[in-house]
Amino acid sequence: MDSARLRLGPRDTFRILWPYTRGKFTEQLSSIWFIVAYLTAFQLFVLGLPIVHAGMIAAGILVVAVGLMFFMEGLRLGLMPLGEIIGRTLPERSRLPTILGFAFLLGIGATFAEPAIAVLKAAGSGVQPAEAPLLYSLLNEFSQELVGSVGVGVGLAVLLGVLRFFFDWPLKWLALPSVSIVLVLSVVYAQSPALNDVLGLAWDCGAVTTGPVTVPLVLALGIGVCRVVTNSPGGTSSGFGIVTLASLFPILAVLLLAGYHFQAQDFYGAPNYAGRTIAPAAQAQPGRSAVAVTEHGFSKTDFDRFRATGELPKGATLSVSGGDAQLVDGRIVVTQPEITIGKRLRDAAPWVTGNSWDSRLSIADSLRSAGLDALRAIVPLCVFLLLVLYGLLRTRLDQATDVAVGLGFALVGMALFSLGIALGLTPLGGQLVGNVPLAFAAGTPWGLTATTGPLFDPDSGKLVAIAFAFFLGYGATLAEPALNALGDTVERITVGAFRKRLLMQSVAFGVGLGIAAGIIKMAYGLPLLTLLLPAYGVVLVLTLLAPSNFVNFSWDSAGVTTGPITVPLVLAMGLGIGGSLPSVSDGFGILALASVGPILSVLTVGLYTNRSVRREAQEASGGSAYLTTERS
């Protein structure tokens, strides 16, 4: 092959590289432009607030696009071929126990590598031990056990998923019982206050474990296994389903862990608690400071002046309650009223800072931590896979340089991608989702000093927030790399019968619906289960009706939706809205709803199109004129 190799000068090299780079870059831009444009437009035009640190955000978004470009190429060239070749050779070269052992280890390894697990732990740091003792203990003293049990859950899921390919168990009969068990456990847990707090965390753990590295790898493994394993001569199996199980089993694992500690009574405040009980006041409350209402009252000096002079301070509002009101000579006279004097919130919100760059964020530090995350997410997994490939299977890679370049790309891409998210998307999303509660509650806009009142009246304000959440979910999902990979896989496995664009649009729509439902839950203080149970009920019915190939990838799309772009935005929004509403203790649970949404939407699309394709085929073969002429 090398003998025929062309000799290329630098100019030709550039002429080959340039269209390639440009094409890939615009491809990624087209996947993120919607969320960026949408967030910007919402902040500027609907909320009427300026964007703080605009320069940094713009640079960050550019970096995200570059990072995604490298990462997706890395998946295409490196990670997915690696997973596929292992999946293909494993059944030929080794026995079932070895394969299952490999699958289990891969699941555990992938979980420890997943960066989003760390996000979840950070999000839980605001939990008040007195309010949710078991949740607090799980996230702090037992956090190792928590990650461990999630890992075992994912490991078992990959194991069962691979076993499913060998014995051709329909995914329905694995997924439906698991979901039922999880739902029943959730209902039982909801009865006890301590266990009830854990529900949101457990459901979100399931959503979070399936990230941008795990999903493509596991999908590729499935494709590989299904290239050789069949259940009947000429039959085909699909290669999906592992992702589904990998998002259900961790829920079960966390629920069981919580149940164990509840039985043992060794969580915070319980009789067998081993740690030190901290006074509630000592607990910091990070995450809520961004939207805390800071200047809504009069100071001591205002009060003293009022008592001395009886003069109302400037910008005061009066409200009267109680007493006996009568209309006398065109005046309202109230006897023995209770009068409250409040301070009117100022409308104009001056800039706190004109800087276009957040000085607290240093590029070097962000780059280092992003690089470390990427190393941790990719290197151990790849080392494991290469060891299996060369040590256990003794196979040679057909195009080893491609895979090597691909793995390098994936590493660089992952690092740049997380850097870009830290610089661009998180600050932009953070300010915005912090500001969304202003639509229906008073507060200080993110990064500004003054307080601004509710922009809309409470009901329509909540509607604005819900609509915002829908499009946020929709846009963020379209930019998710794992969903891109799933779309490619679905298109490949169905040989283009189900298009990537259709899958991505319906999944994004479903996630939007799910997140909007999550905001409804928070805004109106509904318990999580009142929304989850009916949604899963509909899903169960649709699953029983739908043909199995649609079932497989619609359930899988539920697992992939919650990745590095969606999770921070959604958790920040949960905390933001949770902080401005007294009835909500934490922002967990939205992700769980965001996972049901796409199952619903993809199954619906699948059922609809399946029916219409079949009907059209029948019609076409029945009485159509052109066919009879064709066959003459």
Site for other proteins, rule CB under 8 A: 1, 3-6, 8, 13, 16-17, 20, 73, 77, 88, 91-92, 96, 166-168, 227-236, 398, 401-402, 405-406, 492-499, 501-502, 505, 609-610, 612-613, 616-617, 619-621, 624-627, 629-632
CB of 490 to other proteins, least distance (A): 11
DSSP state of 445: P
Nearest residue (CB) to other proteins, 118 versus 228: 228
Nearest residue (CB) to other proteins, 3 versus 321: 3
CB of 497 to other proteins, least distance (A): 4
CA trace torsion 136, 138, 139, 141 (10° rounding) = 90
Nearest residue (CB) to other proteins, 227 versus 288: 227
Nearest residue (CB) to other proteins, 338 versus 619: 619
CB of 178 to other proteins, least distance (A): 23
How long a stretch of residues is the chain?
632
Nearest residue (CB) to other proteins, 549 versus 580: 549
> What 3-state DSSP class applies to 129?
coil
Nearest residue (CB) to other proteins, 140 versus 395: 395
- Would you put residue 594 in left (φ > 0), alpha (ψ -120 to 50) or beta? alpha
Count other C-beta atoms under 10 Å from residue 586's C-beta.
Answer: 23
CB of 567 to other proteins, least distance (A): 27
DSSP result, 370-432:
HHHHHHHHHHHHHHHHHHIIIIIS----TTHHHHHHHHHHHHHHHHHHHHHIIIIIHHHHHHH
Nearest residue (CB) to other proteins, 144 versus 621: 621
Nearest residue (CB) to other proteins, 191 versus 629: 629
Could you write out the three-class secondary structure of 446-475? CCECCCECCCCCHHHHHHHHHHHHHHHHHH
CB of 94 to other proteins, least distance (A): 12
* Distance from the first to the final alpha carbon of the chain: 50
Count other C-beta atoms under 10 Å from residue 392's C-beta.
Answer: 15
Token code pair at residue 551: 């079932």
CB of 535 to other proteins, least distance (A): 24
- Cα separation of 230 and 13, whole Å? 44
Angle, helix 426-435 to helix 566-580, in steps of 10 degrees: 30
DSSP state of 499: -
CB of 100 to other proteins, least distance (A): 12
Q: Please say whether the dihedral angle defined by the alpha carbons of residues 604, 609, 612 and 615, taken in this order, is positive or negative.
A: negative
CB of 350 to other proteins, least distance (A): 47
- Cα separation of 312 and 510, whole Å? 52
CB of 502 to other proteins, least distance (A): 4
> What 3-state DSSP class applies to 614?
helix
Contact status, residue 75 vs residue 481, Cβ threshold 8 Å: yes
Nearest residue (CB) to other proteins, 6 versus 348: 6
